[in-house]
Amino acid sequence: MKKRLLFMLAGACAVMALSGCGKKAADEPLESATEESSDDKVQESEENANKEETIEEEPIEGIVKLTVGENEYTDAVYEFAAATEEMQEGEFAYYLVDFDGNGMNEAFVLRGYLDETDDSRWFSKNVWFVNEELKVDQIFGWYSPNVTYYLEEEFKNVGGEKCFFLDGYDVFDETPFCYMYRVKDGALVDVTADFAAEKEPFESKYTEEELGKMTPQQLFDAFCKGEIQAEFKDIDGNTGYFDTREWGWSLDDMNDYQKVLDPYDVDNDGEPEYIIDTIYGIMCFDCKDGKVVDFAEGTDTTTVCRYITYDNATWIVFQDTLHEGRCTYQLYKFNGDLEITDSMNLYWYEDDAGNRTYFYNDEEIAEDKYNEISKKIFGE
């Protein structure tokens, strides 16, 4: 972690002064020279004893904290941004980093204000990078003023080079993002895509024969440990594979939130499926026959996923209830072969005047009817 360490260079050296008693005249030049050397040492020690030095610990790996205030980096940004009319209201804040380890910092500068609902985040429409020579480049200039950055960002070695991870979150869309930066040839470079491409190919810890002998719980545990991949099949017919090697299983970081919930029979086959909770609701896994299959999950605020019990069956619900002007529910009922056997939808939307139109299975209905169906399905 990058810290400022304050050291006091204290403790003067004890100097033995020669008294000269009993010395011959021939010894006096040597005595005088010795006294002058001692005086120099005493003076140097006294100067060091009163000297304070602020030493920058090289931030090889760790957390860089956002500092609120103004300095030469924010002054440079003010001149730059004022000329381009990109200056928004608020206070300056900055992350200091040292990419080349030469003791001269670079800075990522923000201007905005603290998120009152979450004091770990800072609103800023714009982000600027300022190099050692105080040259300014604008990194982000969001149209939306609802973008926040975390007060603690990561700075660490990746592939032998220092990299700064700038994590953010769009409050309006509830969409997290993370960008990765290096300095190459004196210029800031976005290497987010390069970093993703450098991910090592996955190698399963188990053979197909070993997987075929594993219980559902063993398969799910191996997936959670990053030892095997899961296959995903979504309702649109898309398929692929993914693993948990980079999952942190953090309950505090919204960008890395995953938590295992109790198993539940969500495909109506009499056997429990495995469930992981995320920031976009649940992920549902069917574990059998040597495979882990993710067949339903939330992916963003328009497809938050959960399950309900309705009409003596379990239904997977994809919902969008967080945006102004609309509210949608899409429900699916699965069987043990992960096939959709039934579906229905319920939603409303507002026009520009704020008038709502209600629908059930894509047919327009009255508000009272909508509320009646909603209460019957969701019990709310």
Tens digit of each residue's pLDDT (9 = 90 or more) over 154-168: 998 887 789 999 998
More confident residue, 256 or 240: 240
302 pLDDT exceeds 50?
A: yes
Residue 264 pLDDT greater than 50, yes or no = yes
Q: Are 127 and 147 in contact (CB under 8 A)?
A: no
Q: Encode 8-45: b = buried (16+ Cβ within 10 Å), e = exposed.
A: eeeeeeeeeeeeeeeeeeeeeeeeeeeeeeeeeeeeeb
pLDDT of residue 288: 95
* Per-residue pLDDT tens over the stretch 83-107: 766 677 899 999 999 998 888 999 9
How far apart CA 191 and CA 209 sit, in angstroms, is 39
* pLDDT-based confidence at residue 170 (cuts at 50, 70, 90): confident
**Residue 279 — very low, low, confident or very high, per pLDDT cuts 50/70/90?**
confident
Radius of gyration of the chain (CA): 32
Q: Which of the four pLDDT bands, split at 50, 70 and 90, describes residue 117?
A: confident
Checking if the pLDDT of 119 tops 90, the result is: no
| Nearby residues of 153 by Cβ (< 8 Å), 6 or more positions away | 63, 64, 66, 95, 164, 165, 166, 167
Question: Quick one: tokens of 186?
Answer: 């004196």
User: How many other C-beta atoms lie within 10 A of the C-beta of residue 57?
Assistant: 12
The mean pLDDT value of the chain amounts to 80
Percent of the chain with pLDDT over 90: 52
Residue 252: what pLDDT?
Answer: 66
Q: Indicate the pairing of strand 121-130 with strand 147-150.
A: antiparallel
Half-sphere exposure of 195 (CA within 13 A, CB side): 19
Count Cβ atoms below 10 Å from residue 307 Cβ, excluding itself: 22
Q: Does residue 49 or residue 77 have the better pLDDT?
A: 77
Q: How confident is the model at residue 235 (pLDDT cuts 50, 70, 90)?
A: confident
> How do residues 8-63 score in pLDDT, each as one tens digit?
222 222 222 222 232 222 333 323 333 444 444 444 444 444 433 333 334 445 78
Flag whether pLDDT at 247 surpasses 80.
yes
Which token pair is 64? 């860089």
| Coil, strand or helix at 98 | coil
Which is more confident, 109 or 300?
Answer: 109
The residue extents of the domains of the chain are 4-55, 62-197, 209-378
Q: State whether residue 78 is helix, strand or coil.
A: helix
Q: Cα–Cα distance between 3 and 130 in angstroms, integer?
A: 20
pLDDT digits (tens, 9 = 90+) for 126-159: 899 999 999 998 887 776 678 899 999 999 888 7
Residue of 103, 9, 104 lying closest to 53 (CA atoms): 9
Q: What is the pLDDT of residues 319-358, one digit of tens each?
A: 999 888 899 999 999 999 999 999 999 999 999 899 999 9
The pLDDT of residue 272 is 96
Cα–chain center distance at 224? 20
pLDDT at position 185: 77
Is residue 337 within 8 A of residue 317, CB to CB? The reply is no
Q: Are 57 and 2 in contact (CB under 8 A)?
A: yes
Q: Take residue 86 and report the two structure tokens written for it.
A: 């990109």
Whether pTM > 0.75 for this model: the answer is: no
Q: Three-class SS of residue 145?
A: coil
pLDDT exceeds 70 at position 198: no
Q: Which amino acid is at 215?
A: T
In Å, how far are 125, 148, 177, 186 from 143, measured between CA atoms? 7, 13, 16, 29
Looking at residue 195, what is its pLDDT? 64
What 273-281 contacts at long range (C-beta under 8 Å, 24+ apart), as own/partner pairs, is 274/216, 274/220, 276/224, 279/174, 279/176, 279/254, 280/304, 280/305, 281/305, 281/306
Whole-number percent of the chain with pLDDT over 70:
78
Q: Check residue 23 and give its pLDDT.
A: 26
Cα 269 to Cα 69, 231, 274, 312, 314, distances in angstroms? 60, 20, 13, 13, 10
Most confident of 71-75, 193-197, 235-239, 255-259: 71-75
Is the separation of the CB atoms in 181 and 191 below 8 Å? yes
